[in-house]
Amino acid sequence: MLSRKTGESLLIDDFQVRVGWIRFNKVQLVVSGVGDMLPVEQILYMNETVKVTTEIEIVVIQIRDEKVRLGITAPPGTDFARL
């Protein structure tokens, strides 16, 4: 689990996940990848999930004020970096 604010990102392998905005009980996550992949914008509520790949998924654990807490399911050996 990790927390992110609006505009903050994390890197999961070759995918960047950025918090576009946080409003009340929903959050916008923008997932972009390598190559010609266009960014995918997803609006999520608590306990909703976005699949980054078939093996990597992100779930919204908590939305509070200016932060969102995300849970990440990924296979062993997956690289993570906070941006």
Predicted confidence at residue 3, as pLDDT, reads 93
Q: Which pLDDT band holds residue 35 (cuts at 50, 70, 90)?
A: low
In angstroms, what CA-CA distances link 36 with 29, 32, 59, 73? Answer: 19, 10, 25, 25
Question: How crowded is residue 29: how many other Cβ atoms within 10 Å of its Cβ?
Answer: 23
State pLDDT tens for residues 43-83: 999 999 998 888 999 999 999 889 999 999 999 999 988 98
**DSSP string for the chain:** -EEEETT-EEEETTEEEEEEEEETTEEEEEEE-STTPPPEEEEEETT-EEESSSS-EEEEEEEETTEEEEEEE--TT--EEE-
37, pLDDT greater than 80? no
